[in-house]
Amino acid sequence: MARKASLLYPLFLAVPVDTFLLALLFGACNNAQGNASRPLFNIVGPLLSLSAAALLTNRKSHLA
């Protein structure tokens, strides 16, 4: 089970980064100007919340 979970961690980081870049590209193509920031934060927000929780609880990240 631990081996399967370790394979998910690179995807856990790659998917938000890829989606962030795609939303940034779509915002640039659509000339969204300042309106692209909200979808970008919605994409990366959960990952930021998890990393802040790990930092505040002084736990080592299992994502690395």
Q: What pLDDT, in 10s, does the model give residues 13-49?
A: 788 888 888 888 888 888 877 788 888 888 888 888 8
H helices of the chain, where? 2-29, 37-56
What is the spatial distance between Cα 36 and Cα 30, in angstroms, rounded to a whole number? 10
DSSP 46-57: HHHHHHHHHHHT
The model's pTM: 0.59
* Residue 8 predicted with pLDDT over 60: no
3: Cα within 13 Å, side-chain hemisphere: 0
* Residue 63 predicted with pLDDT over 50: yes
